[in-house]
Amino acid sequence: MHGFRDNEMMGGRDRVMQRPTTMLLLLIAVSFQAVSGNLFGTNRQRTDDQCFCELNGAIDDCSCTVDTVDYFNNVKIYPRLQSLLVRDYFRFYKVNLKRDCPFWADDSKCAIRFCHVQPCQDKDIPVGLKGELPRNIHVNESPSDKYKANMQISDCDQNNHDHNIELGYLNTTISSENYKEFERWQQHDDAQDNFCVTETDTGEYVDLLLNPERYTGYKGPSAHRIWRSIYMENCFRPDNSPHTFIQSSKVDDMCLEKRVFYRAVSGLHSSINIHLCSKYLLSSQSRLEVAPEGQWGANVVELQRRFSPETTGGEGPNWLKNLYFLYMLELRALAKAAPYLQRLDYYTGNEVEDSDTRLAINDILNVVRTFPEHFNESVMFNGGVEAQVLKEEFKQHFRNISRIMDCVGCDKCKLWGKLQIQGLGTALKILFSGKFEKYEPTVLTFSKKHFFLERSEVVSLINGFGRLSESIFELEKFRKLIR
C-alpha cells in the first residue's frame, strides 16, 4: 500500500565537479541546512522546531490541537500500546489473503520476496485461538438442550407438576438445520451494522510480529490503481474536483459526514506512507547478499517527497493533519466501546497471559477515557430520511473500499491494508451503528440488542489504532532527525 508516486527520488541534485574541497564542504553544509530547515514549509529561514511548521493548531472538525494529541499519544498511549500489541490475543490475526479481486483481473502479483507473508506454524498458534468460541455461551449443547435450559417450573405450578401435568412443556424437535438457519438470520441482521464486507471463508492465522508493516518495493501502476480507485470511485467528492485527492480548499465545500469520510481515508493513507518511510528498505539489491533480511530504517528524503508542500502542491501538511483527525476518530470509538472491551475475556488458553492482557487493556482504555476533547460523532447523520440515506451511502462506500483490499498485489501490503481497513470499519461501526448509545453491561453476558464484536474486529481495532499511534510517534522521530 503506497502513495501515488513511484519510489524513485524526485528532483535533481546539483553536481559539483572539480571544485576545491572547501567549496564542496560548504555547499554540502548549505544544502543540509536548506533541507533541514524547509522540509514542511516555504524557503524562508526557520528554527529547528518549525520544520513541521504547517502541522500545528486545531485539527479540522475536532476541538483539540495537534500538540495536545502529540503529548497524549507519545507519552501516555504509545508506550502502553507497544506492550499490549505483543500479547498473543492481539498478535495473531485471522485473514484470507487468497480472495480474488472482484473489480479487475489481478495480473500484478508482487514477486519481491519482501512482499511475501511468512506463514504461521500451527504449533505457534495459542490453543485457545485454534477453536474460537462462537458468541453463544451454550457451545456444547444440542439445539434442543438450549431450549430445555429455559424450562423452569415455578412454585405456583408445583401442584400440577405433582400430578404429572407438564404445563411448561416446550416442543424441542427443532432440527439442527433449522437452528443453523436461525443463526444465519441473526448473522445477516448483525452484518447490516458492518462497515466492512464480512468474509465467509475462514482464512489463516498470521503472526503480525513476524510480518511487520514496512516498505516492500511494491510500487507502480498496481499500487497507484488501488488508491486511485479508493479516492476517485469511493470517496465523496465535491463537484468539479479532477484530482485524485481532494484539494483542501474544496473539502470544506462538502457536508460534515462527507468531510469525515474523506479525512479518515486520507488520514489512513498518510499513516501508511509514514510507516513505509520509517521502515524503508535502505540496503540496495547488491547489499542483500550481505544482509539477506534487508536493512530497514528511516528515510527522511522519502518522507519529504511524500508530504512536503513543494512536492505535493501544498497539500502534504493537510494530509498529515488528516492522520490526526483519524486518530481522534478511532480514539473516540475506543472510549465509547470501553465498557464493552473491558469485560471481554481475551481468551487464548494461557491463564497468566490472558490475565496480563486484561490488565493491560483495562489500563489503556482507562487512559483513553481521560482524554478531555473527544471527537463528537453525535452531530452526524441527523436530519431524518435524508441523513439515513447518506449514512447508508457512507456505509456502502466503505464496504467497497474493504473489497478493494483484495486487489492489492503485495501480500504483506494486503495483510496490513485489510487489517487497518477493518479496524477503521469497526470504529465506524462502534460510532454509528446506534447499538452502543445506551450500552450497559449486564452481570452475566452482553445482550445482542446492545452490541457485539467478533474477535477479528477487536484485534483489528486495537492494532489499527496502534498503527496510527506509531505514525504520530514516528513523526516526532523524523522531527529530531531533521534537526
For the annotated binding site for FAD, the residues are: 214, 216, 227, 266, 269, 306
Give the Cα separation of 426 and 430 in Å (integer): 6
Question: Which residues belong to the annotated binding site?
Answer: 214, 216, 227, 266, 269, 306
Residues contacting residue 171 through CB under 8 Å, at least 6 positions apart = none
Give the Cα separation of 270 and 266 in Å (integer): 6
Residue of 72, 78, 74, 81 lying closest to 371 (CA atoms): 72
Q: Identify the bridge partners of residue 92 per DSSP, sorted by sequence position.
A: 207
Catalytic residue flag (residue 407): no
In this structure, the number of other CB atoms found within 10 A of the CB of residue 364 comes to 22
The catalytic residue among 51, 120, 407, 410 is 410
Catalytic residue flag (residue 196): no
Active-site annotation, residues:
410, 413
